[in-house]
Every structure is written in C-alpha cells, then in structure tokens.
Chain A
C-alpha cells in the first residue's frame, strides 16, 4: 500500500524530485509518520521544511489537494495523495 507525496516549490527543490511513492504498512498512517519517512529519504528537505514529526511554520500539506492539514496526527489513508507546499501563496 502506498501514499503518493507530491512536492511543490521549495520542498521539491530540496528533495530534488516532484513525486515520492511511500510504502505504508497499514490501511492508514498519519502526517507525522510520513514526515519521518521523508526525513530519512531527503535530509535537505527535512532540514528546510520539517521539525521532528511536524511541518515547519512556513509549510503546509493538503490531502488530495482538497483539505489542508498541519497536525502530525492527521490520518492519511493508503492510496491518497499528500501535497507538501509553502503555506504562503502571495502573488
């Protein structure tokens, strides 16, 4: 079972790729666990965007592009997409 993580902007720059397919052991996981998995894979991304299991204040995640989430305990179901991006959308 997988969660597809889509990275945008600075998170994409730091990870060096746009999409990451993460394996999850159960039907669902949580945002905090995904952040920890990404930290192992992409130390530069973690340094810029994460703080332990949390997103740094300048960043936010979205489930499937519909709901924005920040809490590390937010449930993410296998098969869902998780978008990670800058929290500020000023243009």
Chain B
C-alpha cells in the first residue's frame, strides 16, 4: 500500500537469528498512533513487550520515526526510542534529534523493532533497507562521540550513527543512546541496547517519502519557520534552557542538595549569564531546525584551546550542580561532558548521586568521600557508575533500587517516581507539575507531562493543588503525547495559536488524510491510555502513582509554606483517572481495554 509521509511498514529484526521481517503498517494504525512515541508504544504492545524483562533477550527495542521526518517543517528531524525501562520496569520513550532520524527513515522504514540478542558485541548496519551485523572491532569501551567518529572513519561520512557508551555496555540502568551529541536520555534505553549486544546502529538510505500537497506544505513550513524566530523562542536561541536557573532559584523551584532546598546560593555562578562571559563557544542546530537552542561551552578558560566543547542544558546543570551542591561551573561542565561520553542520563546520574550524598550526610551510608559540594567526589562517582566499580555498582541501579539496598527508610527521600529520578522542577513549588510527575506513565518526567507550563501561568496558584489541576495536567500531557508522536520540538509550542488545528493541517498536507483537530485530540488521549495499558500489563499498581514521602512531610527549608498535601494529591489523582475515563484507581475499564484492541498475544485489529 502506498502512503504519503510513510513507507507503510516497519522492519522487525531478530538480532539472534539475523532474520528481518518487513511488517506492513495499515492506515488505521498510522492514523491512530501517528509516529514517534505513539507508534513505538503500539509496536511494543504488539510485541507483548510488557511481560518481558527489559534486559532479557526477548525484550523489544523500538526506534520509531514519524511522518514529519524529512519534511521541510522546522524541528521535525526527531526519532523516538521506546522500550520497557530497566530503571522503572514501565514503559519508556525517549526522543533524540537530528540526522539519524532522517537517514533512518530514508533507509526505507517507519520504525525498527529489535528483538533477540546479537551473538557477539556488534554494530547494526541498515543500508537502504539492507541489514547487516558487524562485529565490534576496537569500539568496546569507547565513549559515544569517539564511537561515532571511529565508525564514520570506517564506514564513510554519509552514515548516521546512534551508539552507546561504556554505561550502556555495562548495563547501567539509566544509560543513554547517543547521536551527534544528543541523547535519547531517560529511562535506560542504552542499557536495553547494551543487553542486545549492540554498540551502535548505523543507517543510511535514499528512500524518500512523498508529501500529499508538497507546494502547500512548503508554504506552510516557511511560515512556521518565520514564526519560530519570534519572541516565544528567543530565550532558547540566545541563552538556551540554562536560563531557567535564576528564575527557578528565585521561585524556590530549583531542587538543591537532593531536594532539601529549593534555591542555591551559588546559582548565579551556574547561570548562562555568568558562564557565557568566558566559556561559551558556539551555538548549534539539529538538522531541519531554525531555533538552534544548543549552546556549547568550553571546559577551558580559553575556548580556543579546547578541542571539544560541552552542550549545556538546564537539566544537566541543575542535576550535576545544585542537586549535588556543586558551585563551580567548571566542575559541572566537566561532569556533564563525562556523562555525555559515558552515555549516562544526567538527571538520573545527578539524582542518584545526590541521594547517596544525603545518605552519607545522614550517616546511612559509609562512603565518607561522597559529600555534597565536592567536585572530585562527583567526578569519581560518575566514573564509577559508568564502570560499575565499588559503590558505583549500586549507584548504577538508580535511586529507588539503591534505597532498597541502603534501607533505613531512605526511600522517603529517594528522588524518584516509579524509579525515574525527578527532573529540575521542585514539586512543592510547582504542584501541577507534582501531579504530572505522580501520574506519569514513565515516572517523574517533565517532558511527557509538561504540567509546569500551567504552574508558570496565571491559571493556578503554583504552590497549592487545586480543583481543576487534574484537567490541566491532562491537557498538557495529551499535547505532549501528540508532539512526541508527530514528532515536533516542544520549544515550538508557544508558536502555535491552536496546536491541534495546526497539527491537523500539517498531517493533511503530508499524508492527504482528512484528519481534524478533534480526531488528533482523541488520538493523543488514546496514546496516553496505550502507555497506561502497557504499564498495567507490566504489573503497575495504583500505589505507584505518588511522590516520595519527603514532599508530603517536609516543607522546603527556604520556603516554609510549601508542602504537598498527600490527601489532596490523592483526590486529584482520582479526578485525573476519572477524567481519562479510567477507573478511580487508574485501571482501564474492561470496555476501554477491549476497544484498545490488543489481545494477550499483541495482535491488534488494523495491523
């Protein structure tokens, strides 16, 4: 069947038998799940992946592209990596950008589903749809950038490469998959790839999809590109996401010393306004992006002497800076570069180290060198995590598992939800976000919930959960689900007057479908329910939808009015579940589950 915007099939590759199956994707499925995160969730359910151990050979690892990839639409060169998370044992979808998305789609499929385990440590090549496994030579133990460089030298510059670093090879539960300095970061997809004995995936191809109305698509893309350079994105273009630092600090929303405080005395030193004076080197763009949010910093006082600059984002700086009590910009830059090279998620790395530092502070853990504010300790801990050395072996498991190992009620202050470490949005200071964290299918996550948008508006009192918070959390979560499936960068969201209307317009021009805004709203909600279905099949229980007890028991030291009411949060979680049409506890109703259409073998009508 021919489709505009799609190839109409995915490749299912069994790494053990080296068998490749081309599986058709029907219009009904594509229209319901669109691409990216939505399509990846569908494919995981189809593989019945919820019931498998994430690091077992039978687990599935999905790379999903989208109908927008390869189009002239700004920020559309993205791909989703979807699997069961080894960190949370729940669904995980992480996104990354740039040339790999375009080359992957041009290799002739809408998604790759990898199952089985390669017999030896390998590189997967996909050359215009032809599959090959090469043994890894000289790449084992190499960092992510170096792996890409070495493979390019071997294969040629026209290949795009996604790889894992030593952390993925060592099955660190929050290892990333990296491509061109960007990372499918959260939830440990790098460990899933490592467990499949895959060091890297290299793709290239020439199979372009066509657009239903190319002329109007080009005109629309030009207009969107123009709007993408307006006031809604200037922050990202000129300062980058690190400009959150001083605002969050002022609002007591900057998690500090493992969420013991909401502001950090040295925040000024880590803000781009300060760091940029001496250390900024350049600004970079993903492929097909007009915004260019990526600000790179030098580790050296004299950038000219630095061979490799560091991409700095708010999440890196918060997690490796204030969260661990680190004041020195150079220390944070170096820690960030180490995480990038080892292939470690910076949020989970910083979160788990900060948790351990608090354990040491409280006398629950006998690792005296692991102290808040000690740069050397931070660097050593990162190195030991990636290599699973000594205490690093426990840290590599993430804060929830580590809390179980430490015991002594330390779970109360382990900074995680469902095992995923909390990003840089203090839940007590941003309480709609707190609700979003609690109910999130992949755990504490700002990208899948985006409820902080509501807290930073005149619509709520950010320090109190209130009636209506559940509906607002759903609104932002649904919008994020669609953006992650189209896939478009969230930094564009302020540019759209009516996001669903414009998303429908884009899909009409690309696919020729008569899709409407209202259909897409219902698709977005359906995608969230599909992720929930995955979790239920993976053993989810309603008690998982909560926050660490610290947030109910302790106010912030520096803002005594902020504490979360556990009973209020519980009421709002029930409201959230009911507004989604689920049971009060959060299960899909039998009718919804049936309508979802996946039987226990993963078969789905419309395939």
Q: Are A88 and B462 in contact (CB under 8 A)?
A: no
**Nearest Cβ distance between residue A58 and chain B, in whole angstroms?**
4
**Nearest Cβ distance between residue A4 and chain B, in whole angstroms?**
12
**Nearest Cβ distance between residue B532 and chain A, in whole angstroms?**
24
| Residue of chain B at shortest CB distance from A91 | B314
Q: Which residues of B contact A91 (CB under 8 A)?
A: 241, 244, 313-315, 318, 423-425, 446
- Name the contact of A59 in the complex, choosing from B231, B243, B250, B490 (C-beta under 8 A): B231
* Contact bitstring B454-466, A, C-beta under 8 A = 1, else 0: 0011100111000
| Residue of chain B at shortest CB distance from A49 | B231
Q: Are A60 and B250 in contact (CB under 8 A)?
A: no
- Name the contact of B250 in the complex, choosing from A6, A71, A89 (C-beta under 8 A): A6
Asked if A37 is at the interface (CB within 8 A of a chain B CB), the reply is no
Q: Are B231 and A9 in contact (CB under 8 A)?
A: no
| Residue of chain A at shortest CB distance from B315 | A91
Asked if A29 is at the interface (CB within 8 A of a chain B CB), the reply is no
Q: Are B491 and A88 in contact (CB under 8 A)?
A: yes
- Name the contact of B231 in the complex, choosing from A8, A48, A70 (C-beta under 8 A): A48
* Contact bitstring B553-584, A, C-beta under 8 A = 1, else 0: 00000000000000000000000000000000
* Contact bitstring B484-502, A, C-beta under 8 A = 1, else 0: 0000001101100000000
Asked if A28 is at the interface (CB within 8 A of a chain B CB), the reply is no
Are A68 and B457 CB-contacts (below 8 A) given A58-B234, A86-B243? yes
Q: How far is the CA of A9 from the CA of B234 in the complex (A)?
A: 10
Q: How far is the CA of A90 from the CA of B446 in the complex (A)?
A: 8
Q: How far is the CA of A65 from the CA of B183 in the complex (A)?
A: 33
- Name the contact of A89 in the complex, choosing from B230, B234, B456, B463 (C-beta under 8 A): B456
Q: How far is the CA of A68 from the CA of B241 in the complex (A)?
A: 20
Asked if B232 is at the interface (CB within 8 A of a chain A CB), the reply is yes
Q: How far is the CA of A23 from the CA of B241 in the complex (A)?
A: 33
Asked if A35 is at the interface (CB within 8 A of a chain B CB), the reply is no
Q: Are A85 and B234 in contact (CB under 8 A)?
A: no
Q: Are B494 and A88 in contact (CB under 8 A)?
A: yes
Q: Are A9 and B235 in contact (CB under 8 A)?
A: yes
Q: Are A87 and B457 in contact (CB under 8 A)?
A: yes
**Nearest Cβ distance between residue A89 and chain B, in whole angstroms?**
5
Asked if B297 is at the interface (CB within 8 A of a chain A CB), the reply is no
* Contact bitstring A70-91, B, C-beta under 8 A = 1, else 0: 1100000000000101111111
Q: Which residues of B contact A69 (CB under 8 A)?
A: 458
B interface size (C-beta, 8 A): 40
**Nearest Cβ distance between residue B101 and chain A, in whole angstroms?**
20
- Name the contact of B247 in the complex, choosing from A9, A13, A56, A70 (C-beta under 8 A): A9
- Name the contact of A57 in the complex, choosing from B232, B247, B251, B458 (C-beta under 8 A): B232
Q: Which residues of B contact A87 (CB under 8 A)?
A: 232, 456-457, 494
Q: Which residues of A contact B238 (CB under 8 A)?
A: 10, 13
Asked if A33 is at the interface (CB within 8 A of a chain B CB), the reply is no
Asked if B376 is at the interface (CB within 8 A of a chain A CB), the reply is no
Which residues A35-79 have CB closer than 8 A to chain B? Answer: 48-49, 56-60, 62, 65-71
Q: How far is the CA of A85 from the CA of B244 in the complex (A)?
A: 9
Q: Of A48, A49, A86, which is in contact with the most chain B CB atoms at under 10 Å from its CB?
A: A86
Q: Which residues of B contact A65 (CB under 8 A)?
A: 250-252
Are A13 and B458 CB-contacts (below 8 A) given A58-B494, A59-B231, A83-B250? no
Q: Are A90 and B234 in contact (CB under 8 A)?
A: no
**Nearest Cβ distance between residue B155 and chain A, in whole angstroms?**
35
**Nearest Cβ distance between residue B168 and chain A, in whole angstroms?**
24
Q: Are B231 and A85 in contact (CB under 8 A)?
A: no
**Nearest Cβ distance between residue A57 and chain B, in whole angstroms?**
6
Q: Which residues of B contact A12 (CB under 8 A)?
A: 273
Asked if B159 is at the interface (CB within 8 A of a chain A CB), the reply is no
Asked if B453 is at the interface (CB within 8 A of a chain A CB), the reply is yes
Q: Are B247 and A89 in contact (CB under 8 A)?
A: yes
Q: How far is the CA of A62 from the CA of B430 in the complex (A)?
A: 14
Q: How far is the CA of A90 from the CA of B315 in the complex (A)?
A: 10
Q: A48-B234, A89-B452, A90-B236 are in contact. List 8 more A-B contacts (CB 8 A).
A: A9-B239, A10-B239, A49-B231, A83-B250, A86-B235, A88-B456, A91-B244, A91-B423
- Can you list the 8 inter-chain pairs with the closest CB atoms, starting with the nearest? A58-B231, A91-B314, A86-B235, A58-B232, A9-B243, A56-B231, A8-B247, A68-B458
Question: What are 30 residue pairs bridging A and B, where the CB atoms are less than 8 Å apart in the complex?
Answer: A6-B250, A8-B247, A10-B235, A10-B238, A10-B239, A10-B243, A57-B231, A57-B232, A57-B494, A58-B232, A58-B233, A60-B457, A60-B458, A65-B251, A66-B462, A67-B458, A68-B458, A68-B462, A83-B250, A88-B491, A89-B244, A89-B247, A89-B456, A90-B450, A90-B490, A90-B493, A91-B313, A91-B314, A91-B423, A91-B425
